[in-house]
Homo-oligomer: A and B are copies of this chain.
């Protein structure tokens, strides 16, 4: 199939890309033990196999009673109850509570039969051996957790699509769920390109060579989005070599990321190769974002492909905005974890062209966001930044002192 002419692919906005480029690909299901499930995405809601905690439980140290026996009790006119026994932790009560009697219970123990409340020990005193004074009344249910109060049988313990948090693991453990069916991590193949690019381990650079900074940084972002990165190495600026590398990556990949050559020629080569790779092919070639315009989005034989700009900074900006949501989408994550943000006042005005999203790196100190500038070839701007702010498509700039929302790096 001949490549479509380049002009056909209009530039899209970031919002259009996020809403419109929604590949159907999803990773398969796998099962992980609970202690490896943090951050993993359940394929389906997990429900309680039985009520939790499973028995009526005291929430305080005190005495299990019939609430009615305490009505009207006060410091001046205490109620008297006969203590007929004690419940041990983790054991079934050997005694029940009848009218006028009480049973000693520690926090967390089983509520004995006949009792409907627990009086805190602080609201009792020993009248004589085997007899307590109750100085405050309790209502039915007070000091007690019902047998199904944490979860009824069949109740949803954790939802599908939300990465498991620490407390979710605790809830599943409480229910005896020790393995969880989760989405497999999307396998993201990262292909670096460029005649000038050499591996990071290269000790001495020849003039014009640069080490591959993008691959390891992209791999980090892939991992943060729940994916599994696989770096496929560095391909020279040669269409045949790139096509071979991409075709080799297709079968095993859930997403392919091409860290493209930065020259016009190299960019056109990438588009040409991706256009030949499989149907439906290129979705957009050019994003209305600065930095990051020369971004390519495609789907080839069911595998989404992102062609990133050649400048490392542009590539990382675009991958955060477009790539990480794609990794989450493919990995079944419908409720992404919240991003840290900070509100700040802008230290100086920023100009921006309407119709384009501007991503500005900032340092944040004492509530003031200071923009960091420099060519998009510089990584130091990103490493010096605490986060970034976005000037929306429709805005033509931001005034000095404007309140901005900064997305913070972590």
Query: Using a CB–CB distance below 8 Å, which chain A residues touch chain B?
Result: 34-35, 38, 52-55, 57, 59, 61, 87-92, 106-110, 121, 145, 149-151, 157-158, 163, 165-178, 194-197, 200-203, 205-221, 223-224, 231, 237, 261-266, 310-312, 316, 337-342, 374-380, 382-383, 385, 387, 408-410
Residues of B within 8 A of A378 (CB): 145, 149-150
> Known contacts A90-B209, A202-B176, A338-B342; is A380 also within 8 Å of B170 by CB?
no
Question: How long is the Cα–Cα vector from A410 to B225 in the complex, in angstroms?
Answer: 12
Pick the residue among B106, B172, B210 that contacts A265 (CB under 8 A).
B106
Residues A383 and B171 in contact, CB atoms below 8 Å apart: yes
A375 touches B341 (CB 8 A): no
B174 near A213 (CB under 8 angstroms)?
Answer: yes
Known contacts A166-B221, A265-B106; is-contact A55 B207 (Cβ 8 Å): yes
Instruction: Please report the C-alpha to C-alpha distance between residue A107 and residue B106 in the assembled complex, in whole angstroms.
Output: 73
In the complex, the answer to whether A379 meets B166 with C-beta atoms within 8 Å is no
Copy number in the complex reads: 2
Distance of A115 from chain B, by nearest CB (Å)? 14
A sample of 5 more A-B contacts (CB under 8 A), given A38-B224, A174-B211, is: A89-B261, A108-B196, A149-B378, A151-B380, A178-B200
Q: Is the CB of B211 within 8 A of A176?
A: yes
Q: Could you say which residues of chain B place their CB within 8 Å of the CB of A163?
A: 410
9 shortest interchain CB distances as A-B pairs: A90-B196, A170-B217, A106-B263, A166-B220, A337-B410, A338-B340, A174-B213, A173-B200, A167-B382
Measured between C-beta atoms, what is the minimum distance from A128 to chain B in Å? Answer: 22
Residues A316 and B166 in contact in the complex (CB < 8 Å), given A263-B106, A337-B340: yes
Q: Is the CB of B207 within 8 A of A263?
A: no
Expressed in whole angstroms, the Cα–Cα distance for A111 and B243 within the complex equals 30
A408 contacts which chain B residues (CB < 8 A)? 338
Known contacts A145-B378, A167-B383, A410 near B173 by CB under 8 Å:
no
Please report the C-alpha to C-alpha distance between residue A266 and residue B106 in the assembled complex, in whole angstroms. Answer: 10
Assuming the A-B contacts A375-B59, A410-B165, are A174 and B210 also in contact, with contact meaning beta carbons closer than 8 angstroms in the complex? Answer: yes
